[in-house]
Structure 1
Amino acid sequence: MNSTYHRVLWRQVWGLAALLAAILFSWIAYGFYQPVILTKLGFGEIAQSLGIVQGFLGAAIEPLAGAMSDRLMRRVGSRLPAIAVGITLAGLLFVAIGLLLHGNIPLELRWIVPVLMTFWVISMIIFRGPAIALLRQFAPTAALPAANSILTLVFGLVGAVSPIFSRVIELLGSGNTFLLGAVMLTVGAILLWSADPELNLSIFTDIENSTRLSTPKFNRCFYIFGIGLGTGTLVNILLKICPQRVHESWLGFASEYITAGILFVCAIAAIPLERRVKQWGLNRSMVISSTSIVAVILMGLSFNFPAISILTILFGGIAMSILFVAQIPWCLGRLSDRQAGLSTGLYLGGMATATAFLEIIIQFKLGSR
């Protein structure tokens, strides 16, 4: 076991984690200011529907971006060109939006802002999946959950501090925040590049063809997308719907802090639970975590008193931690090792579709009131 872990390129994993942190902070900043900016510019109706459109864009573009990174991998031996293009575009668009917001935008040119925001989302999608697919190059199959537990730790911690970060960027203002987002993406890219994320050829020698399912490729792709859709639905309900219910039992305790609590538990549980995921196996871990999240959702939505609220935060965070540690290694094992980008893109595309559908439901419920 120790020899397997020694083969993990830990410096590269932490470099990828740094880029992931920059991506998450950028999404937090974007999500905070998107409705504010569009409403201020007179695009209030677009602000309500743009998130839905962008979710479906993710569903379509994530697999395509992943497949393109696989082709680059086969041709030039690296996914870094696709990642570099996406980061460069996202950074430049962040700067452009930030500079526009610093000035007085003429009335006839205000439509440029939502267009640039949509292109920013597309540029982020271009490199997000390929960047996560780099994990396949940094760890042998048996150690993928251990490597992914680092990404889960970073994801949970960044998500947990998002309420504080939101207060900071509110003080900075929209223009400065978008410029800060460009700087953070650049720093994240520099940290990844400084870790020298080259292909570890020895890792690929332990990937057996037995990791591929015997069903036709289309069925495998649809299966990965469907699992991403299902888990994305559960995670969205756990992080967006349940906190509202828990908030009702703790008057004055904002729902965003309930979400932060779940993510904090997810983060601190990730590394200890990695060995449990390895013991159970990826398939069983996915089933256990998904079933547990369903149970937590039912518990959180059915009861309305503080004790159940605390259990919702604790068990929800633990269940989500198991899911997040297992999900990327699981989807990487569904297709061949040379299709890591496609498999990751399909899974993330399913999760993006779930987010879009949930947003439609929320908007429908708000509109019916």
Structure 2
Amino acid sequence: MNSSGTSTRVLWLQVWGLAAVQGTIALTWVIYNLYLLKLLTQFGFPAGLATGLLILENILAAVMEPLMGGLSDQFQHWVGSRFPFISVGVILASALFIAIPAFVVFGSATAALRWVLPILMVSWALAMTVFRSPALSLLGRYAFASNLPQAASILTLVGGLAGAMGPLANQFILSLGPVVTFSVGSLVMLGSATALKFVNPDSSVQQQMPESAPSSKPKSSWRQISLPRLGYVFAAGVGVALGFRLMMQTFPRILSTQVPDANKGLILGGIFIALALTAIPAGNLATRLGNRQAMSYGLFAMAGLMLLMMLTHNGVIAFGVAIALGATFSLVSNGTIPFALSMVPMDKAGLGTGIYFSGGAVASSVFGALFSQPESLTPTAGALIGAMAFLAGGLFVAASSKLKQPVFEAH
């Protein structure tokens, strides 16, 4: 990571700034998911509304992610910056994130007003889609194409550490109370976006990496958009997200039935810790192998590990499987944004990133609709379907290399 050849090809300071934003996104979703059911039931709503809200949020995100990414591409074309979208989205999301617990504390639980709470929750989820794709698409401006997985490994490292807070620190987060927790999340969100803007005004990026970054007013390339290539990006997003969701639902159930004395929080947290710790070595490996090849290998290996989960019968094996899952998934996580960026022209980076996240949102909404109740899917069925999802995702990534390249390759 610190070699002179690599350092000239990656803007590490900007990458770390973007990683802070990625970590904040992961952390705020951890907080939201931990408190969602508690806040709704506290306000008199049925527990089932939580699932309904998540499904609705994902359906809306499936549309909003590519829309916001595409609009940010137009802003980049017109004014030379995506930061108007990022700034507006972060400010809205931060304000709404604080408003959620504030309404619970100071609002009214009367029938007429209590529906403000779920409206605030859905509004916050939509605000998050305003800036996620525009922000993460900036990765393509911070590194040359061959070094994108290495740059993305920093995002995986920080995101993995933030994700580990869910299984490892959930009781501590809940003990702080919603007002303190949501306030911290909101302030961290604002701080990370401010830091990213401070370390990387667009003009300085273009001065430092003229070969990698597009000019401030690139020619529009809508005619170079390939629907089959976007389809592969979308399908990969579906496969990765569905496989991961099934993994995180199935593994705890396997532990509960086959290793009842195991520390589930520690084992599940081990997945995210391993993901974070192996991110940089996985990024180096992907740089040598090529991103598509490394990502495909990772997805195929994840399919095998999903089946191996069913053979878990003691705590040592369970922890070993968790470490293997996290280490292997780092190859996948590092590769997702570089893969999406490689499938679109350079001035459509926001659209490509948004299409990938749209696929993930569709997978999450389908998952929520079909498998919201743990008993609706046996551990064996969950492991098999998850393995097939990862396998399909790997096949889509591998097959994408056969498509005709656009007139000019992205990034």
**What is the TM-score of this pair, normalised by structure 1?**
0.92
In structure 2, the residue matched to 1:299 is 308
C-alpha distance in structure 1 between counterparts of 2:35 and 2:374, whole Å: 23
2:211 equivalent to 1:205: yes
CA distance 1:303–1:65, change in 2 (3 Å): same
Which amino acid counterpart does residue 151 of structure 1 have in structure 2?
A: L
Alignment match, 1:88: 91
- Contact 1:98-1:177 within 8 A present in 2 as well: no
Aligned residue for 1:246? 255
Counterpart Cα distance in 2 of 1:215 and 1:17: 30
| Matching residue's letter, 2:92 | L
Larger mean Cα displacement after TM superposition, 251-260 or 54-63: 251-260
What's the CA shift string for 1:334-357, capped at 9, x where partnerless?
A: 001111111111111111221222
Give the letter aligned to residue 237 of structure 2.
Answer: G
Supply the distance in 1 between the matched residues of 2:236 and 2:94 (Cα, whole angstroms): 32
> Could you tell which deviates more after superposition, 150-159 or 166-175?
166-175
Query: What is the Cα deviation at residue 270 of structure 1?
Result: 0.9
Equivalent residue in structure 1 for 2:71, among 51, 68, 73: 68
**Secondary structure of residue in 1 paired with 2:278:** helix
- Once residues 173 and 310 of structure 1 are traced to their aligned partners in structure 2, the CA distance between those partners, rounded to angstroms, is 31
Residues 1-369 of structure 1: matches in 2 within 5 Å?
2-44=4-46, 45-107=48-110, 108-199=112-203, 200-201=205-206, 203=209, 205-206=211-212, 217-363=226-372, 366=375
Greater shift in the superposed pair: 97-106 or 14-23: 97-106
How much has 1:190 moved relative to structure 2?
2.0
Report if the CA contact (8 A) 1:67-1:342 is conserved: yes
Amino acid at match of 2:211: T
**AA of the residue aligned to 2:230:** C
C-alpha distance in 2, partners of 1:133/1:265? Answer: 25
Cα deviation for residue 243 of structure 1 reads: 3.2
Alpha-carbon separation, structure 2, partners of 1:217 and 1:224? 11
Q: Which residue of 1 aligns with 2:381?
A: none
Is the alpha carbon distance of 1:284 and 1:311 closer, same or farther for their aligned partners in structure 2, counting shifts above 3 Å?
A: same
TM-superposed CA distance for 1:368, in Å, is 9.4
Q: More displaced, 128-137 or 255-264? A: 255-264
SS in 1 for 2:260: coil
Checking the alignment, whether the CA contact within 8 Å between 2:70 and 2:350 is kept in structure 1 is: yes
Count of aligned pairs = 365
Structure 2 vs 1, CA of residues 185 and 206 (structure 1 numbering), >3 Å: closer, same or farther?
Answer: closer
Distance in structure 1 (CA, Å) of the matches to 2:157 and 2:212: 26
CA shift, 1:164, in A, is 4.2
Offset from partner CA, 1:98-119 (integer Å, 9 cap, x none): 3212224140200000001000
User: The residue matched to 1:16 in structure 2 has which SS?
Assistant: helix
What's the CA shift for 1:168? 2.6
More helix by share: 1
| Equivalent AA in structure 1 for residue 93 of structure 2 | A
- Kindly indicate whether the alpha-carbon contact (under 8 Å) linking 1:234 and 1:290 is maintained by their aligned counterparts in 2: no
**Equivalents in 1 of 2:360, 2:265: separation in Å?**
21
Shift of 1:302: 4.3
Q: CA deviation at 1:165?
A: 3.8
Tell me the alpha carbon deviations over residues 240-298 of structure 1, each in whole angstroms, 9 at most, x when there is no partner: 32233134343233434322111111111111122211122112112101100000001
Q: Is the 8 A contact 1:140 1:204 kept in 2?
A: no
Identify if the C-alpha distance between structure 1 residues 42 and 220 changes in structure 2 by more than 3 Å, giving closer, same or farther. Answer: same
Query: What is the alpha-carbon distance in structure 1 between the residues aligned to residue 294 and residue 358 of structure 2?
Result: 21
TM-score of the two chains, using structure 2 as the length reference: 0.83
Distance in 2, matches of 1:124 and 1:256, equals 27
Corresponding residue SS for 2:334:
helix
Task: Report if aligned partners of 1:4, 1:140 keep a CA contact under 8 Å in 2.
Answer: no
CA RMSD of aligned residues (A): 2.4
Q: Using the alignment, how far apart are the partners of 2:108 and 2:261 within structure 1?
A: 39
User: Take 1:176 and 1:270, find their aligned partners in 2: how far apart are those partners?
Assistant: 31
1:15: Cα distance to partner?
Answer: 1.0
- Name which of structure 1's ranges 93-102 and 241-250 shifts more when overlaid on structure 2: 241-250
For the residue of structure 2 that corresponds to 1:109, the secondary structure is coil
Mark the CA change 1:166 to 1:79 in structure 2 (over 3 Å): closer, same or farther.
same
| Counterpart position of 2:409 | none
State whether residues 101 and 174 of structure 1, in contact with CA within 8 Å, keep that contact through their aligned partners in structure 2.
Answer: no
Out of 64-73 and 101-110, give the one that drifted further: 101-110
